[in-house]
Amino acid sequence: MANNNAPTSGFYANPVVKWIEYRLPVFSTLDHMVGSKYPTPKNLNYWWNFGSLAGLCLVVQILTGIVLVMHYTPHTSLAFDSVEHIMRDVNYGWLLRYMHANGASMFFIVVYIHIFRGLYFGSYKSPRELLWFLGVIILLLMMATGFMGYVLPWGQMSFWGATVITNLFSALPVVGDPIVHWLWGGFAVDNPTLNRFFSLHYLLPFVLVGVIILHVLALHQFGSNNPQGIDVKGPQDTIPFHPYYTIKDAVGVGFFLLFFSFFIFYAPNFLGHPDNYIPANPLVTPAHIVPEWYFLPFYAILRSVPDIWFIEAKLGGVLAMFGAIAILFLLPWLDTSKVRSARFRPIYKQLTWVFLITCIGLGYSGGMPAEGLPLIIGKICTVYYFLHFLVVMPLVGWFEKPTKLPASISEPVLKAQAAE
Amino acid sequence: MRKDFAPMTSLKLLAAAVVVALGLNGPALAAGDADPAPAVNWSFNGPFGTFDRAELQRGYQVYKEVCAACHAMKFVAFRNLADPGGPGFSAAEVKALAATFEVTDGPNDDGEMFKRPGLPQDKFPSPFPNQKAARAANGGAYPLDLSLIAKARPQGPDYLAALLGAGYTQPPAGFALGEGLHYNKYFPGHQIAMPKPLNPDQVTYADGTKATVEQMAHDVSAFLMWAAEPKLEERKRLGLKVMIFLVVLTGLFMAAKKRIWKDVH
């Protein structure tokens, strides 16, 4: 289809651009995706930076990962040594590996903030439910990818983390053991396990790219939510994405890279576990097996569930852990309030912070041996985690009196001007 | 025009929760039931820290004369001792000191393994032919490879200095010490199979430094830190350049943002 209304002035007047655009409308498409033809609410604050930052994280992971693979050997007897080879003999290998290892943590920090932003400002509510679903799928894919990536250096935590987590599936009745053996490709975590994890660790990021494209497509259907949580009423409420949000995102990128670089250059092993500098040894179990920090809240939920009637603690824990993520899919319907932004929901606003503290409490509990006070904290937080979604959210939506919503995004600004 | 993300009280509560979570996690991630090692003011601490060449050279001497009798470092080659950011031996010195180690090579044309003096490209060898032999010579315990030990223990070099130095003390009254084990207050479980490796004046330092147990423990721990993280200096140097670049870049972005946004209401 020839593009009859292709723009012809300015940038598009350039003959090369014109020639390409006529045959393949890449420039106008990009312009509609993240350019001057994408109207964006003009009141987005810096919490809206974390989407583009997450995209940046994925790009960093893919680029560093592709080069790391050129020097890495996925074999139980060589993997650990090949990582040390990267650290010591490959030019800037240490930089690539520290970027990749810390990059995973950065990706999760950014995505967790992005999700919390969504929770606070009600970005999951109609008509953005599918956008939210795709986001939850992105989180799941990230978790699978991160977990399998941590196994690749074949250190003690790699091996024992993989053993503990894959063993979880054995809790399922009847099919449990066959599933575990199928995952392992044998009767223990061994070379076949390492090889398939490597293969999938390389594959899933590209699946992520695909899902992220859908996520962005869904986003463009109604555009970004905004801190007021009210719909855009007309052109006076929006500004073009470019240059306004490209430059605002660039500011965020600058601060993010400073934060990221601090870890790469000055604390590269802070977020890792020392045991992963010990080669994997199936005969020696580490004193405390802990996953990476970004799994700790879920690990805490896993360990917090006791035997309930006929359901064994292990099965209950696994169900609760996966349930903790699955429940996010129900969020658009569990939240009964019509008001999106917590700014206009006095009770819910406080409760989101309570919820965040709950998650931090879970993270703390997950990092400690499962006994004493940490275990109790883990149990309390697990109960509240589910109560928050299943009971608190529906109820608060019913009886809370929201404060008055502004008539439009630009109204507060216009009022302020009138007062001057 | 923009309102705060949340009321101040919630933020304070949140900050408190983070502090508590981090603070309580710390000790748990450290060495189990063992005493926490005292923090050492290493020359390589901090964003501008570098290794002290003389210290690394002394550390190498301790490693060579004491630890190499039982341990290996399979990821560190003698030639690395001349790399930038390391102990700073010259190529000729490395050649000479490599030759003082005996390494197993082969098989030769007759199909036999043979011993020869070390070459710069060889890795720090184990004195034992295999793990079984190493265990047999050490009462069943394995003198593990030390290439990465400084990164493989919580508190890294602080722990090593404490373990090798002040850690070996008399067991408290009533402590039941296992057969062939030694009391060490910094080792998790307090019973270590390695006999006290360092005793006063065990080595005679070429630079005349007095070889107290603390001094040797300090020097060899620094050396092991270098062995585990040989690119530490290169990393921090590049880090400084990257940080400066990013500060300038971010400043420019902020200025551009301000200009572009100046008439948006």
- Please give the Cα distance from A247 to A240 (Å, whole number): 12
Give the containing element (helix H, strand E) for B226: helix B213-228
Residues with Cβ within 8 Å of residue B245, at least 6 apart in sequence: none
Residue where the block lists tokens 């703390």 = A364
Q: Is B104 helix (H, G, I), strand (E, B) or coil?
A: strand
A292 a catalytic residue? yes
Please indicate whether, in this complex, the C-beta atoms of A343 and B3 are within 8 angstroms of each other: yes
* Whether the Cβ atoms of residue A67 and residue A96 lie closer than 8 Å to each other: yes
Cβ–Cβ under 8 Å, residues A182 and A28: no
pLDDT tens, position by position, B95-118: 999 999 999 999 999 999 999 999
Say yes or no: B18 contacts chain A, CB-CB below 8 A.
yes
| Contact present, A166 and A180 (Cβ < 8 Å) | yes
The pLDDT confidence band at residue B7, using thresholds 50, 70 and 90, is very low
- The residues near A381 (Cβ < 8 Å, ≥ 6 apart) are A300, A304, A358, A359, A361, A362, A365
Under an 8 A CB cutoff, do B152 and A254 touch? no
B8 contact A CB<8A: no
Average pLDDT of chain B is 90
The rounded percent of chain B whose pLDDT value lies above 70 is: 87
pLDDT in tens, chain A (420 residues): 444 556 677 888 999 999 999 999 999 999 998 899 999 999 999 999 999 999 999 999 999 999 999 999 999 999 999 999 999 999 999 999 999 999 999 999 999 999 999 999 999 999 999 999 999 999 999 999 999 999 999 999 999 999 999 999 999 889 999 999 999 999 999 999 999 999 999 999 999 999 999 999 999 999 999 999 999 999 999 999 999 999 999 999 999 999 999 999 999 999 999 999 999 999 999 989 999 999 999 999 999 999 888 888 889 999 999 999 999 999 999 999 999 999 999 999 999 999 999 999 999 999 999 899 999 999 999 999 999 999 999 999 999 999 999 999 987 766 766 666
Q: What is the DSSP secondary structure assignment for residue B59, as one 8-state letter?
A: H
What's phi and psi for B249, nearest 5 deg?
-60, -45
Q: How would you write chain A as a 3-class SS string?
A: CCCCCCCCCHHHHCHHHHHHHHHCCHHHHHHHHHCCCCEEECCCCHHHHHHHHHHHHHHHHHHHHHHHHCCCCCCCCCHHHHHHHHHHCCCCHHHHHHHHHHHHHHHHHHHHHHHHHHHHHCCCCCCCHHHHHHHHHHHHHHHHHHHHHHHCCCEHHHHHHHHHHHHHHHHCCCCHHHHHHHHHCCCCCCHHHHHHHHHHHHHHHHHHHHHHHHHHHHHHHHCCCCCCCCCCCCHHHEEEHHHHHHHHHHHHHHHHHHHHHHHHHHCCCCCCCHHHHCECCCCCCCCCCCCCHHHHHHHHHHHHCCCECCECHHHHHHHHHHHHHHHHHHHHHHCCCCCCCHHHCHHHHHHHHHHHHHHHHHHHHHCCCCCHHHHHHHHHHHHHHHHHHHHHHHHHHHHCCCCCCCCCCCHHHHHHHHHC
Note if A248 is an active site residue.
yes
Catalytic entry in A52, A82, A224, A304: A224
Predicted local confidence at residue A1, as pLDDT: 43
Distance of alpha carbon B151 from the chain centroid: 5
Tell me, what's the pLDDT at A158?
A: 97
Average pLDDT, integer, range B26-33 = 44
Closest CA to B122 of B104, B148, B106: B104
Distance CA B10, CA B15 (A): 9
Write out chain A residues lying below 8 Å of B154, CB-based: 274
The C-alpha atoms of residue B94 and residue B89 are separated, in whole angstroms, by 6
Q: Is the pLDDT of residue B19 over 70?
A: no
Q: What is the pLDDT of residue A6?
A: 60
pLDDT value of residue B27: 38
- ipTM given for this complex: 0.91
- All residues of chain A having their beta carbon less than 8 Å from the beta carbon of residue B6 are 120, 349, 353
**Chain B contact probe: residue of A52, A81, A292, A356 with most B CBs at under 10 A:** A356
User: Which pTM was predicted?
Assistant: 0.92
* Residues contacting B80, CB < 8 A, separation 6+: A88, B86, B230
Q: What is the model's pLDDT at position A5?
A: 58
